[in-house]
């Protein structure tokens, strides 16, 4: 028999499994129990749905050495997230309670429980299922049945493992949890053995627990008495730039608005000076272009442009004395503006709040008095 | 004035500009469709090490540099492991071979001045010895991460304060045994024997310890939430927006801790990073819309190649080396023996959706080698995920952009001090940063370093039998030279002006004003041949071919606009095919009647220099001295050819120069060209002086960070050999001075209670110089806005026996001799001439110019 090699490596398969789950269920608050070197968290932070990401590990040194890897990248500042994201890392024990991770949408606990003494497992279940009560919790652990396929393995897969469960043992434990804490469970796994060994199961077995919908009513203020006990130590907290931050939002909006109004203004002045002939020429050129690699998306990006250019009356930029009025609807067609503001109403509200912009009705008023020259 | 404006803006972007040769799009040819080697760049834990600029200077292949400094290479450690190049040229000891500066390298003349510098003292640093262990794995482990994880399982033994780069472990304490063995286990149960062997005990002053301090300092910067881009750190939380150009500027710092003359200092300088909030894809859309489908590929290549981008998914920087026109996100690459499309890869790895599936990909050649030393193939990048950093050439030549930018980036000495002190105080306030430094016992001063400098007296300028002085603070004698005859002039008798009909007024007005300004200068001027050409593509060139003869002294072309191709064509024809001094003027410069006197004066001076006239001189006491200036121009596109310009003096007064430019052929060292140039320069000197010079001083500009070693061990011996070749008994004194303008040092002087720029002529030769070098700083020039940048001079070879004081003063004198600027410039004139020469050849001519021009400053 050949040595089994997983591709991609098993640890990556486990991560992809969790990431897939996040993509499917779109949780906002996610906690990784036993986050170790934060490598799963580093994958999770790319999920735009996640707004709060927490990692807990008993070993603070390993967190300290890796925590800056969770810092925002330069591009996160250039292209802020639509929704906020805060990442917090705690040193703490999974058999102690702390309100900072209560009622999360998802918790992951990947290859962690086998490092706990069997005697501690009860306390762990009580904390995770009885106190933290995440909506979904995904737990993975080695499948002892599979060990026979791992050549040369005697004993456990890691020196620090306190136990390795068979498929039956794991499932019995999980089902018992469900009964006691009102969760439902489904089983899965990653890492299949060679053909013919299907009944052994996966190399890593995974249980996905989901809180029963009715549970909250019957466990009204469960363990609220512990809520002021903080047993975890906050090691690191990092806030990602997002448009939910008022400063970032306003700055981005000012930038986009200044850029585009400047462009529209220039174009408007040009076209009124030179008459319609030039516009028509440009228009013709555009329609003659071949449709090739980027032209389709280009239309999307430059829709505001063609609108400004077309001389067929679609453009509603109007001159009022020393100012031009640009309809907000028009500005909202700009992709970048759309990204920052969810709706025209929001755009108007935001612009009204920023001093340097003047709004008249549903128009942005731009001065065309030539202060440049 | 305006004439200078054009010439200057042309040469502004030195070394960053790239050649316009669309036909040779680099990197595209070798990439077959679906090339297996091309992989998207992976996310790594390593910080971005992307080099911001192609380093300048001698183009010695990297491998060779490594062999020279192999001994030192061993000791270089990166923050998270990985070898990196030493940008501070530590370990190049040149002073020890120069006898007369063993005791002191300080000068004496000039008035003392109290200065501040952007350096901070280290108040306390670790006193303990650092223990270096070699870590061996059996069986060998390839992945650095795994090696690290295995080792760290034994924390109880090693302690928490440590640094490990994958093979070398540094500990602040000694393990009980010299050789320590233990067994660790991988995740899948493999047992690995780890052996730690003590290889070195490093005292606190050893260079490795210094690197160590730098690593700790970088950690501190990261704790302060500074973002590393390239080599420096920037603050993302306080961007300065310039929305009208879609730019933002991140303020930041460049830092280094090094051993200086008397102590170890932290050098801290303000740095700015220009970023753009749009992606490369957006830029491509815009370009395509502006230039249309037909020219798109050319324009796009020209605009993008050479730019540095950031990606959305990791914190590395990449240089765009080319565009893969045949690749889209739907193409696949192989990863772990399976093939995956770029689209799917980015979705699964980073949850990033590609919206435009038809975009072409960018090519970046990754220099770092992969696991096991195998070179990595070029990385393919998705334009949609790439953000641009820095400026393009087009932006750099855009006056309004540069003006808006400089509002944010030009800092007065006081603003600069404020930034630096603000940073240091933030660092002292932050508890996590304080803790990190306390762990290792590091502590920094909170005020700028004070030191003493000297201000050299202003020089006397002699011109046409008259001697005058300039105002020391202004360092400019434009006013003083008005109405004074030039030192020597060339008559304008057989010359012509070419212009198009639209500009005929300009042309006649220029002739009229030249007539007015020339006679006070002593230039005899006749009426030129006026040639009106049609405003058509090739009519100007045809007119040149028909009218320029071997007796033509000067050709003036009035160009209707500043389109580069026309300028290039004129220059190429008149430098290579029919060697004649020429002067190009953009018509707009001549359009303002009130500025015509100034413009005509400037043009007259420039034409006189180009034809071999001399303007002024300063007193040079040394006899039989030949000064040589060298600079390089690096072509960032098209095979990256380098161009070496060499300019050598021909007379005692340093008023006549011999210029030679060589283009580096593929596989050839830049020094080969320089050797040849130096040889012909010496022969030219012989022709003019009937002897060979007894002293030669070479000012070598264009040496990049980390390339000093190659100058010392390759170029200097070649210079010596070249001199030897002229005769066995010819044994002149040789000095080689490396000139550097882009440095992190800044000096300030307290003047009337205000922190200001030091006066022109300020020399600094202590405290912030390096003990292993014979080096000094001179601020020769005056600036009106912002902080002045001192020039660093490093004498790497010197058998002249000249006292440091003479060397410093001679250097400052030479900064007075640049004829295109009636004032003091930042570098010795021959360096600036060499720069202008190499730039003209690299940008416009691309061929070696006709030797008939060698003794003229035709490239001004």
pLDDT digits (tens, 9 = 90+) for B479-521: 998 888 999 999 999 999 999 999 999 999 999 999 999 999 9
Structure tokens at A302: 């430059």
- Identify the CA nearest to A235 among candidates A18, A24, A41: A41
Q: Are B804 and B764 in contact (CB under 8 A)?
A: no
What's residue B376's pLDDT? 66
Task: Report yes or no: A301 at the B interface, CB cutoff 8 Å.
Answer: yes
For range A24-38, the mean pLDDT: 94
What's residue A370's pLDDT? 56
Residues from chain A that touch B290, judged by Cβ atoms under 8 A, are none
Q: Do A297 and B285 touch (CB under 8 A)?
A: yes
| Residue range B516-560, pLDDT digits in tens | 999 999 999 999 999 999 988 789 999 999 999 999 999 999 999
Burial (Cβ within 10 Å: 0-12, 13-18, ≥19) of residue B396: middle
Burial (Cβ within 10 Å: 0-12, 13-18, ≥19) of residue A127: buried
What's residue B80's pLDDT? 40
Helix ranges, B153-279 (H)? 155-158, 207-223
**Global confidence as pTM:** 0.82
Of A351-365, B564-578, B784-798, least confident by mean pLDDT is: A351-365
Q: Which CATH superfamily is domain A10-240 in?
A: Vaccinia Virus protein VP39 (3.40.50.150)
Q: Do B188 and A7 touch (CB under 8 A)?
A: no
- Identify the CA nearest to B411 among candidates B755, B742, B792: B755
pLDDT at B32 over 70: no
- Identify the CA nearest to B659 among candidates B395, B841, B846, B431: B841
Which residues are within 8 A (CB) of A141 and not within 5 positions of it... i.e. 6 or more apart?
A: A111, A113, A114, A164, A165, A170, A204, A205
Residues 211-250 in A contacting B (C-alpha not used; CB under 8 Å):
241
Task: Report yes or no: A292 at the B interface, CB cutoff 8 Å.
Answer: yes
For range B441-460, the mean pLDDT: 93
Kindly name the residue from B631, B765, B775, B798 that is annotated as catalytic: B631
Residues from chain A that touch B356, judged by Cβ atoms under 8 A, are 294, 297
Which residues are within 8 A (CB) of B448 and not within 5 positions of it... i.e. 6 or more apart?
A: B116, B117, B118, B119, B120, B417, B420, B421, B748
Q: Do A255 and B348 touch (CB under 8 A)?
A: no
Task: Identify which of B244, B275, B277 has the shortest CB distance to residue A262.
Answer: B244
For range B579-606, the mean pLDDT: 92
More confident residue, A305 or B400: B400
In B560-590, which positions are buried (b, 16+ CB within 10 angstroms) versus exposed (e)? bebeeebbbbbbbbbbbebbbbbbbbbbebb
Mutation target vs B (from A73, A259, A338; most B CBs, 10 A cutoff): A73
Residues from chain A that touch B328, judged by Cβ atoms under 8 A, are 293
Residues from chain A that touch B314, judged by Cβ atoms under 8 A, are 73
How distant, in Å, are the alpha carbons of A172, A315, B401 from that of B776? 78, 64, 35
ipTM > 0.95 for the complex? no
Neighbours of B459 (CB within 10 A): 22
H/E element, B546 = helix B539-547
3-state SS class at B58: coil
What's residue B573's pLDDT? 94
| Residue range B175-232, pLDDT digits in tens | 888 888 888 877 666 788 888 899 888 877 777 788 888 888 888 998 898 988 888 9
What's residue B667's pLDDT? 65
- Identify the CA nearest to B816 among candidates B806, B827, B808: B827
**B835 catalytic residue (yes or no):** yes
H/E element, A119 = helix A118-125
Number of inter-chain CB pairs under 8 A, A vs B: 119
Q: Do A73 and B292 touch (CB under 8 A)?
A: no
Neighbours of A170 (CB within 10 A): 25
**B430 catalytic residue (yes or no):** no
Q: Return the beta strands (E) in B10-146 as ranges.
A: 111-117, 119-124, 130-138
- Nearest Cα of chain B lies from the Cα of A11 at a distance, in angstroms, of 10
Q: Do A71 and B222 touch (CB under 8 A)?
A: yes
- Nearest Cα of chain A lies from the Cα of B175 at a distance, in angstroms, of 20
Whether the upstream peptide bond of residue B419 has omega within 30° of 0, thus cis, is: no
Q: Do A292 and B223 touch (CB under 8 A)?
A: no
Distance separating alpha carbons of residues A162 and A156, to the nearest angstrom: 8
- Identify the CA nearest to B737 among candidates B806, B788, B821, B825: B806
Residues from chain A that touch B352, judged by Cβ atoms under 8 A, are 46
Structure tokens at B676: 């040849």
**B701 catalytic residue (yes or no):** yes
- Nearest Cα of chain A lies from the Cα of B46 at a distance, in angstroms, of 9
Residues from chain A that touch B284, judged by Cβ atoms under 8 A, are 294
Q: Are A10 and A204 in contact (CB under 8 A)?
A: yes
Of A333-337, B24-28, B259-263, least confident by mean pLDDT is: B24-28
Distance separating alpha carbons of residues A100 and A98, to the nearest angstrom: 5
More confident residue, A303 or B727: B727
pLDDT at B113 over 80: yes
- Chain B's closest residue to A372, CA to CA, is B400
- Identify the CA nearest to A188 among candidates A201, A212, A206: A206
Mutation target vs B (from A77, A204, A247; most B CBs, 10 A cutoff): A77
| Residue range B60-91, pLDDT digits in tens | 333 333 222 223 333 344 434 444 557 788 87
Which residues are within 8 A (CB) of B825 and not within 5 positions of it... i.e. 6 or more apart?
A: B780, B781, B815, B818, B832
Length of chain B: 860
For range B801-820, the mean pLDDT: 96
Q: Are B514 and B604 in contact (CB under 8 A)?
A: yes
- Chain A's closest residue to B155, CA to CA, is A61
Q: Do A294 and B356 touch (CB under 8 A)?
A: yes
- Chain B's closest residue to A248, CA to CA, is B237
In B820-839, which positions are buried (b, 16+ CB within 10 angstroms) versus exposed (e)? bbbbbbbbbbbbbbbbbbbb
DSSP states along B169-201: EEESS--SSSEEEEEEE-TTS-EEEEEEEEEEE
Q: Are B753 and B108 in contact (CB under 8 A)?
A: no
DSSP states along B427-456: HHH-HHHHHHHHHHT-EE-SSPEEEEEEEP
Residues 256-275 in A contacting B (C-alpha not used; CB under 8 Å):
256-259, 262
pLDDT at B12 over 70: no
3-state SS class at B839: helix
What's residue B209's pLDDT? 80
Q: How confident is the model at residue A175 (pLDDT cuts 50, 70, 90)?
A: very high
3-state SS class at B134: strand
pLDDT at B852 over 70: yes
Residues from chain B that touch A191, judged by Cβ atoms under 8 A, are none
Distance separating alpha carbons of residues B74 and B165, to the nearest angstrom: 12
| Residue range B352-384, pLDDT digits in tens | 888 888 899 999 987 665 555 556 678 899 999
Of B31-45, B211-225, B414-428, least confident by mean pLDDT is: B31-45
Q: What percent of chain B has pLDDT over 70?
A: 87
Q: Do A78 and B45 touch (CB under 8 A)?
A: no
- Tokens 């924390």 label which residue? B155
Which range among B33-37, B224-228, B560-564 has the greatest average pLDDT? B224-228
Kindly name the residue from B384, B835, B846, B854 that is annotated as catalytic: B835
Q: Do A285 and B337 touch (CB under 8 A)?
A: no
Displacement of CA B198 from its chain's centroid (Å): 41
More confident residue, A7 or A204: A204
pLDDT at B655 over 70: yes
Q: Do B188 and A157 touch (CB under 8 A)?
A: yes
What is the maximum span of chain A, computed from C-alpha positions, in angstroms? 88
Mutation target vs B (from A9, A70, A78; most B CBs, 10 A cutoff): A78
- Chain B's closest residue to A73, CA to CA, is B315
pLDDT at B759 over 60: yes
Residues from chain A that touch B218, judged by Cβ atoms under 8 A, are none
3-state SS class at B763: strand
Which residues are within 8 A (CB) of B630 and not within 5 positions of it... i.e. 6 or more apart?
A: B644, B645, B646, B647, B674, B698, B699, B700, B701, B702, B831, B834
- Nearest Cα of chain B lies from the Cα of A117 at a distance, in angstroms, of 19
What's residue B109's pLDDT? 94
For range B407-430, the mean pLDDT: 93
Whether the upstream peptide bond of residue B272 has omega within 30° of 0, thus cis, is: no
Q: Do B293 and A289 touch (CB under 8 A)?
A: yes
Strand order in the sheet with B582-586: B529-533, B495-500, B554-559, B582-586
pLDDT at B7 over 60: no
- Chain A's closest residue to B44, CA to CA, is A69
**B173 catalytic residue (yes or no):** no
For range B579-584, the mean pLDDT: 94
- Nearest Cα of chain B lies from the Cα of A19 at a distance, in angstroms, of 9
- Nearest Cα of chain A lies from the Cα of B349 at a distance, in angstroms, of 7
Which residues are within 8 A (CB) of B25 and not within 5 positions of it... i.e. 6 or more apart?
A: B297, B301, B305, B322, B323
Length of chain A: 373
pLDDT at A301 over 50: no
Q: Are B384 and B354 in contact (CB under 8 A)?
A: yes
Burial (Cβ within 10 Å: 0-12, 13-18, ≥19) of residue B485: middle
3-state SS class at B83: coil
Residues 127-146 in A contacting B (C-alpha not used; CB under 8 Å):
none
- Nearest Cα of chain A lies from the Cα of B757 at a distance, in angstroms, of 32
- Nearest Cα of chain A lies from the Cα of B26 at a distance, in angstroms, of 21
Task: Report yes or no: A151 at the B interface, CB cutoff 8 Å.
Answer: no
pLDDT at B446 over 60: yes
According to DSSP, the β-strands at B529-533 and B495-500 are: parallel
What's residue B46's pLDDT? 32
Q: Are A166 and A189 in contact (CB under 8 A)?
A: no
- Nearest Cα of chain B lies from the Cα of A129 at a distance, in angstroms, of 28
- Identify the CA nearest to A330 among candidates A316, A318, A320: A316
What's residue B371's pLDDT? 52
What's residue B439's pLDDT? 77
Of B11-15, B92-96, B833-837, least confident by mean pLDDT is: B11-15
Q: Are B442 and B126 in contact (CB under 8 A)?
A: yes
- Chain B's closest residue to A9, CA to CA, is B336
Task: Identify which of A71, A75, A294 has the shortest CB distance to residue B310.
Answer: A75
Q: How confident is the model at residue A315 (pLDDT cuts 50, 70, 90)?
A: low
Task: State residue B659 phi and psi, 5-degree precision.
Answer: -125, 135
Which range among A194-208, B429-443, B622-636, B753-767 has the greatest average pLDDT? B753-767
Task: Tell me the domain boundaries of chain A.
Answer: 10-240, 246-372
Q: Are B461 and B470 in contact (CB under 8 A)?
A: yes
Residues from chain A that touch B236, judged by Cβ atoms under 8 A, are 72, 74, 77, 241
């Amino acid at each position: 028999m050949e040595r089994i090699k997983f591709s991609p490596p098993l640890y990556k398969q486990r991560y992809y499994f969790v990431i897939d789950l996040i993509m499917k269920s779109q949780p906002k608050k996610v906690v990784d129990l036993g986050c170790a070197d934060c490598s799963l968290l580093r994958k999770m932070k790319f999920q735009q749905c996640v707004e709060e990401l927490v990692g807990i590990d008993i070993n603070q040194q390993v967190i300290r050495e890796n925590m800056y890897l969770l810092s925002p990248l330069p591009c996160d500042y250039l292209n802020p997230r639509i929704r906020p994201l805060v990442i917090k890392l705690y040193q703490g024990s999974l058999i102690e309670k702390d309100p900072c991770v209560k009622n999360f949408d998802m918790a992951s606990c990947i290859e962690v429980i086998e490092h706990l003494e069997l005697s501690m497992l009860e306390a762990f279940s009580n904390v995770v299922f009885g106190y933290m009560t995440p909506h979904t919790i995904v737990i993975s652990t080695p499948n002892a049945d599979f060990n026979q396929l791992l050549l040369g393995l005697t004993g456990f897969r890691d020196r620090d493992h306190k136990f390795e469960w068979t498929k039956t043992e794991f499932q019995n434990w999980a089902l018992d949890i469900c009964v006691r804490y009102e969760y439902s469970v489904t089983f899965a796994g990653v890492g299949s053995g060679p053909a013919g060994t299907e009944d052994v199961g996966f190399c890593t077995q995974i249980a996905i627990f989901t809180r029963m919908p009715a549970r909250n009513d019957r466990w009204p203020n469960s363990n609220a008495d512990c809520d002021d006990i903080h047993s975890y130590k906050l090691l690191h907290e990092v806030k990602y730039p997002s448009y939910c931050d008022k400063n970032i939002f306003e700055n981005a909006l000012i930038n986009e608005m200044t850029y585009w109004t400047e462009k529209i203004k220039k174009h408007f002045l040009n076209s009124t000076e030179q008459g319609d002939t030039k516009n028509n020429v440009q228009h013709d050129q555009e329609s003659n272009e071949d449709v090739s690699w980027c032209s389709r998306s280009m239309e999307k990006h430059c829709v505001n442009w063609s609108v400004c250019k077309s001389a067929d009356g679609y453009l509603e930029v109007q001159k009022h004395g020393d100012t031009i009025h640009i309809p907000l609807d028009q500005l909202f067609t700009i992709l970048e503006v759309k990204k920052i503001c969810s709706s025209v109403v929001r755009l108007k509200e935001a612009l009204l709040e920023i001093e340097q912009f003047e709004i008249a009705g549903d128009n942005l008023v731009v001065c065309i008095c030539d202060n440049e020259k | 004035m305006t004439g200078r404006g054009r010439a200057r803006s042309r040469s502004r972007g030195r070394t960053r500009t790239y050649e316009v040769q669309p036909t040779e799009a680099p990197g595209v040819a070798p990439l077959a469709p679906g090339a297996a080697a091309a992989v998207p760049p992976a996310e790594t834990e390593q910080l971005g090490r992307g080099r911001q600029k192609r380093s300048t200077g001698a183009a010695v292949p990297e491998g060779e540099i490594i062999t020279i400094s192999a001994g030192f290479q061993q000791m270089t450690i990166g923050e998270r492991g990985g070898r990196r190049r030493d940008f501070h040229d530590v370990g190049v000891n040149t002073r020890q071979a120069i006898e007369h500066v063993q005791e002191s390298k300080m000068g004496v003349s000039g008035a003392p001045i109290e200065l501040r510098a952007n350096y901070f003292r280290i108040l306390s640093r670790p006193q303990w010895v650092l223990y270096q262990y070699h870590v061996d794995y059996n069986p060998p482990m390839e992945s650095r991460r795994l090696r690290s994880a295995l080792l760290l399982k034994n924390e109880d033994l090693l302690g928490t304060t440590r640094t490990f780069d994958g093979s070398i472990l540094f500990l602040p304490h000694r393990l009980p045994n010299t050789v320590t063995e233990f067994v660790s286990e991988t995740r899948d149960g493999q047992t690995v024997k780890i052996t730690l062997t003590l290889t070195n005990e490093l005292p606190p002053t050893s260079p490795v310890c210094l690197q160590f301090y730098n690593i700790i300092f970088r950690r501190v910067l990261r704790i302060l939430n500074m973002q590393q881009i390239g080599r420096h750190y920037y603050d993302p939380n306080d961007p300065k927006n310039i929305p009208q150009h879609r730019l933002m500027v991140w303020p930041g710092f460049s830092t280094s801790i090094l051993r200086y003359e008397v102590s170890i200092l932290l050098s801290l300088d303000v740095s700015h990073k220009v970023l753009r909030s749009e992606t490369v894809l957006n830029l491509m859309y815009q370009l395509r819309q502006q230039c249309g489908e037909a020219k798109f590929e050319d324009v796009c290549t020209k605009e993008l190649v050479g730019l540095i981008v950031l990606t959305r998914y990791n914190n590395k920087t990449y240089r765009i080396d080319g565009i893969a026109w045949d690749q889209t996100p739907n193409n696949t690459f192989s990863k772990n023996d399976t093939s995956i499309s770029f689209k799917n890869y980015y979705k699964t790895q980073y949850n990033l959706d590609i919206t435009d599936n038809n975009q072409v990909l960018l090519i970046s050649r990754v220099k770092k080698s992969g696991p096991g030393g195998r070179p990595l193939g070029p990385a393919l990048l998705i334009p949609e995920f790439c953000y641009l950093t820095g400026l393009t050439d087009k932006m750099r030549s855009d006056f309004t952009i540069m003006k808006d930018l400089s509002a944010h980036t030009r800092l007065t000495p006081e603003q600069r001090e404020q930034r630096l002190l603000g940073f240091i105080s933030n660092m002292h306030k932050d508890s996590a940063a304080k803790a990190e430094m306390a762990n290792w016992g590091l502590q920094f001063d909170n005020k700028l370093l004070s030191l003493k400098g000297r201000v050299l007296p202003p020089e006397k300028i002699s011109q046409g039998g008259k001697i005058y002085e300039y105002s020391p603070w202004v360092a400019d004698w434009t006013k003083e030279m008005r109405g004074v005859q030039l030192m020597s002039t060339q008559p304008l008798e057989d010359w012509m002006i070419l212009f198009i009909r639209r500009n005929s007024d300009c042309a006649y007005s220029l002739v009229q004003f030249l007539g007015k300004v020339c006679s006070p200068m002593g230039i005899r001027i006749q009426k030129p041949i006026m040639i009106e050409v049609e405003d058509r593509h090739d009519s100007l060139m045809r007119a040149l071919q028909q009218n320029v003869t071997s007796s033509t002294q000067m050709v003036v072309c009035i160009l209707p606009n500043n389109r580069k191709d026309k300028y290039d064509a004129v220059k190429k024809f008149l430098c290579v095919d029919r060697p004649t001094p020429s002067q190009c003027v953009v018509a707009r410069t001549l359009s303002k009647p009130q500025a015509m006197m100034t413009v005509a004066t400037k043009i007259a001076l420039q034409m006189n220099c180009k034809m071999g006239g001399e303007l002024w001189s300063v007193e040079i006491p040394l006899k039989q001295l030949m000064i040589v200036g060298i600079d390089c121009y690096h072509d960032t596109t098209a095979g990256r050819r380098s161009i070496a310009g060499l300019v050598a003096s021909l007379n005692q007064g340093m008023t006549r120069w011999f210029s030679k430019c060589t283009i580096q052929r593929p596989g050839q060292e830049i020094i080969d060209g320089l050797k040849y140039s130096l040889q012909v320069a010496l022969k030219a000197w012989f022709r003019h002086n009937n002897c060979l010079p007894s002293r030669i001083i070479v000012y070598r500009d264009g040496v990049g960070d980390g390339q000093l070693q190659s100058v010392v061990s390759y170029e200097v011996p070649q210079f010596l050999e070249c001199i030897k070749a002229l005769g066995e008994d010819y044994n002149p004194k040789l000095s080689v001075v490396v000139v550097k303008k882009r440095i992190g040092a800044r000096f300030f002087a307290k003047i009337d209670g205000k922190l200001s720029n030091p006066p022109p002529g300020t020399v600094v030769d202590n405290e912030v110089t390096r003990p292993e070098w014979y080096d000094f700083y001179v601020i020769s020039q005056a600036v009106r806005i912002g902080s002045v940048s001192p020039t660093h001079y490093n004498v790497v070879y010197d058998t002249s026996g000249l006292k440091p004081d003479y060397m410093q003063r001679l250097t400052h004198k030479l900064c007075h001799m640049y004829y295109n600027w009636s004032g003091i410039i930042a570098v010795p004139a021959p360096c600036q001439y060499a720069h202008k020469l190499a730039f003209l050849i690299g940008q416009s001519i691309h061929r070696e110019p006709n030797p008939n021009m060698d003794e003229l400053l035709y490239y001004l």
